[in-house]
Amino acid sequence: MSRISGCLSTLRASGKKALIPYVMGGDPNPLVTVELLHAMVAAGANVIELGMPFSDPFADGPTIQLAGERALKAATNIQSILGIVADFRKTDDATPIVLMGYLNPVERMGYPVFCEAAHAAGVDGLLLVDMPPEERHLVAEHCDRLGMDTVFLAAPTTVDARLESIASSTQGYLYYVSLKGITGSGALNVDEVADRVAHIRSLTDVPVIVGFGIKTGEQARAIGQCADGVIIGSRLVATMEALADKPDEIPSAIGAIIAEIRHAMDTPA
């Protein structure tokens, strides 16, 4: 069993919900990120989604676009992201890490080279936003051999036949995008999400994690009622933007937000 599946099934068995923060690797510079990851784990994060910057992030709103621009300005690339993961792994070999990004930088590095290097650094899963299940063959051989999970997205607009094929392709968890839109947008409709998640759960046993639009502890707790966990992204990234000139303060500030959301999720309503 992969580190991701192990972690999520342990949580499920104990009735707890997964809290998964998303941050952009190298934002505002690669030196900050390792300490930030440790601070998030200490505050109660279960799995980490680590963003790899791309020049053309067409599925992201302004907040995460700007984070990518800051990271690229600080010369972040795949090698430096993998360096961050390897450093993190020196003192934490329990927390699963999923790399999240776009296909082209990975393709440029070369799929076998990238997969080998990511696995060696301690990466557990891969979520490439513009690699749909139909294109999984690009990485399949290497990920399967190395035991690295490929995580896929489902959206509010995904039709049933496709949901079934996504559920059977995804590994570790299924990332349910809770709203129509890009990262950082819109208001979350918890009831609507609950209906959809219940439907997905009737199709598959794979853990369902909900992301997009979740900002508060209260929302996280509500979503936790129906799903296996939540992903918090834009709120964290916006806080990092505000502290871009004071990177030393980022780990504790982000840690405090994670702790607040963790507390809300673990407290019965």
In whole angstroms, give the CA distance from residue 85 to residue 33: 9
Residues 64 and 57 sit within 8 Å (Cβ to Cβ)? yes
164 tagged catalytic: no
User: Which of 44, 86, 92, 103 touches other proteins by CB under 8 A?
Assistant: 103
Among 91, 157, 202, 267, binds other proteins (CB under 8 A): 157
DSSP track, 53-84: --S--TT--HHHHHHHHHHHHTT--HHHHHHH
Three-state secondary-structure class, residue 8: helix
Does 168 help bind other proteins (rule: CB under 8 A)? no
Place of tokens 């834009």: 234
Three-class SS state of 22: strand
Task: With beta carbons less than 8 A apart as the criterion, state whether 22 and 232 touch.
Answer: yes
Distance (Å, whole) CA 53 – CA 158: 26
Residue ranges in 73-102 that form contacts with other proteins under rule CB under 8 A: 77-78, 102
87 catalytically annotated: no
Site string for other proteins, 205-224 (x = CB under 8 A): --------------------
Give the end-to-end CA distance of the chain in Å, rounded to a whole number.
33
Shortest distance (Å) from residue 156 CB to other proteins: 8
Active-site hit among 49, 87, 124, 228? 49
User: According to CB under 8 A, which one of 74, 86, 109, 259 is a site residue for other proteins?
Assistant: 109
- Residue 130 beta carbon to other proteins: minimum distance, rounded to whole angstroms: 4
State which of residues 1, 31, 56, 195 lies at the interface with other proteins (CB under 8 A). 56
Catalytic positions, written as ranges:
49, 60
Which residues bind to other proteins, rule: CB under 8 A? Answer: 54-62, 65, 69, 72, 77-78, 102-109, 129-132, 134-135, 152-155, 157-159, 162, 166, 177, 180-182, 185-186
